[in-house]
Amino acid sequence: MDTKLEGYLQGVLRGEVLTSEAIAYLSAIPSAFSQSPSALQKRAAQLHQYFPAIEDLCLNTLDWSQVPLLTLWQLWLPLAQQIVALRTERQRPVIPGFLGGQGTGKTTLAQILTRLLTAMGCCVASLSLDDLYKTHEERQRLLETDPRLRWRGPPGTHDVEDGLKVLHQVQMGTDAPIWVPRFDKSLHGGMGDRIPPEPITSIDVLLFEGWFVGIRPINPALLETAPPPIVTESDRTFAQDCNTRLHAYIPLWDLLDMLVVLNPVDYRFSKTWRKQAEHQMVKQGRSGLSDDEIEQFVEYFWKALHPELFWPPLLQDSQRVDVIVDIQADHAPGMAYRPGHKPLG
């Protein structure tokens, strides 16, 4: 905990103006966002203005005990400001993308940004890669032709054309309602299915998130020496096929106006996070996967798109990635930085 920074921010909440000493201290903190005096003063004014709305969300909707003030200052506020600036600069609706696996906080970040962006005057909608799943009937037919796609999620299980249609409509800024796809995972005994799309009008910002949003194909030769759990020839063939299917998603990623990567400091945290989530479901009297089933489930997705192979290129790609946020073992976001500019220590 940076007590000095905390002190400055508490002062802002009391209505105090940032002093030159405070600005000098704040501007020296590494960040993916502008740390100029004018940017810091503007952020301070918005911290004071929007804190009540975020406090309401954190305490009453997310059921947290307090607002993570440093995260609000270092990530949520400047990220919302950057999205609004992008909307103004491009003079059309914008589509920020968010890449992150389970437990990295995609849904929570979308809730926070929706509240902030709405307060800043934007009409905000959200779209998950999950919403683009093919219908249950289509996936059953897919399963008959390729039994390896026994779980929804890998490349090839989505209706990319439907996604392209929606993203194009959003960026055109049409006055007519845009029918945004929706998916209910609870249908068909947990297999899930499409439900009627949601009509949304006057979208300024569409937050588009998913576990491989923005991920691009890699050199197929790298999969010949892939790390575990890709160990058998069958595993390698599956990985190669998923890599090939990724090409169909590139037109979707090319429509993103920016990309934020929620990057676990150790991708293996996803197993622990999934177990925690399933154990909590069981405590609540709901059905959940066993630990062995979770191991198989998580490793299935590592076999499809292994984090050690598909993530590193993006973490160095300053042309396609705007912000990287390291996610700690407790799900907490760490420092935000730009590709190739991770702070030392």
- pLDDT tens string, the chain, 345 residues long: the values are 689 999 999 999 999 999 999 999 999 998 999 999 999 999 999 999 999 999 999 999 999 999 999 999 999 999 999 999 999 999 999 999 999 998 899 999 999 999 999 999 999 999 999 999 999 999 999 999 999 988 889 999 999 999 999 999 999 998 899 999 999 988 988 889 999 999 999 999 999 999 999 999 999 999 999 999 999 999 999 999 999 999 999 999 999 999 999 999 999 999 999 888 888 877 877 777 788 888 998 999 999 999 999 999 999 999 999 999 999 999 999 989 999 877 655
Q: What is the maximum span of the chain, computed from C-alpha positions, in angstroms? A: 67
In which region does residue 201 sit, left (phi positive, over 0), alpha (psi from -120 to 50) or beta (all else)? beta
Topology of domain 3-337, CATH: Rossmann fold (3.40.50)
Backbone dihedral region for residue 190 (phi beyond 0: left; psi -120 to 50: alpha; all else: beta):
left
The pLDDT score that the predictor gives to residue 1 is 64
Q: What is the 3-state secondary structure (H, E, C) of 175-197?
A: CCCEEEEEEECCCCCCCCEEEEE
pLDDT at residue number 290? 84
Give the per-residue pLDDT at 189.
82
Nearest to 24 by CA among 46, 52, 5: 5
What confidence score (pLDDT) does residue 344 get? 58
Residue at token pair 């890709």: 230
The pLDDT of residue 278: 82
Sheet holding 124-128, edge to edge: 124-128, 205-210, 96-99, 258-264, 323-327, 333-337
Predicted TM-score (pTM) above 0.85: yes
Which residues, including other chains, have CB under 8 Å from residue 293's CB and lie 6 or more apart?
A: none
Output the pLDDT for position 164. Answer: 98
- In the chain, where the domains are located: 3-337
How far apart are alpha carbons 187 and 133 in whole angstroms?
A: 13
